[in-house]
Structure 1
Amino acid sequence: MELSPLDIHSMPGHLIRRLNQISVAQFMEHVAAAGLSLTPVQFAALCAIRDHPGIDQATVAGLIAYDRATLGKVIDRLDARGLVLRKVSKSDRRARELFLSSDGETLLSKAHPLVKAAQPDILSGLNAQEQAQFVALLQKLILAGNDLSRAPHRGLGKTDDSGTDPK
């Protein structure tokens, strides 16, 4: 039995992977042009920590839908660069709370407008209405498939894999 050829250029998974490559390239180009060193995942982690000072690492992973073990390495790098502070939790001495350092706040304030400016370039082949529709469709797809991910999005106050509140 002969298999018919697959046209990967019509497969959503391949197209999403390619768009991710374009997205990361645009992010890195905009950030590097300003002399900053920051990856998209580091940016997302810093935003989560800024928005939720004192958050723990597992909750950051859930908020940005990133694998916990890999995010640990991301946080280690941010810590080594002096961008985040880890403090022992007053309620659980085993836990570490994360905060932005002043350098982290400065980097994030410089990066934020650059990242915002990169977004239209990612979808440059679409007009404004198509861009809004595309983003809405992506959000719908992600919501529908969230539980199929190895790193599902977990909001604050929701339960983690163990069924406990991750706060």
Structure 2
Amino acid sequence: MSNSTNETIATVGLGTGGPEVGVQGLGCMGMSWAYGPTHDEAEARATLERALELGVTLLDTADVYGFGRNEEFISPFVRANRDRITLATKFAIERDESDPFGRQRIRNDRPYIRQAVEGSLRRLGADHIDLYYMHRRNPEVPLEESVGAMAELVAEGRSPTSG
């Protein structure tokens, strides 16, 4: 597809000192999870391409979407366009794919955060995540532990920003 008018959406700074992103982001969850199976992967990939063409540069996913399959699905697009997109993904919801009832645990502890970011980086085919944030909060885990773990990721260059 091409944008015959060459118009793109406006941009805005993401947070204080963050990257410029299109004012509209693209939530990728439905491309592989939550609303039923992806019946037309080519159309979903075309949606990613068209969104970027129109200036939608913030892509949002999470490790829990399809048990990581959503991150895997968008990975080729991420790798091909890494210098043009802002990549956001989330952690904290741990589910067991073999559980037919879909029970979940909310995990914000340091070991889980480190495990989750490594899995996301691997599935996304990326060396860093631009915006890495907590999907849900477990009040039994001290917030200082969770934020401290995310600060460590920033210091290591795994995530330039965390929220």
Normalised by the length of structure 2, the TM-score is: 0.25
Per residue, is there more helix in 1 or in 2? Answer: 1
Per residue, is there more strand in 1 or in 2? Answer: 2
Normalised by the length of structure 1, the TM-score is: 0.25
Higher RCO, Cα 8 Å, sep 6+: 1
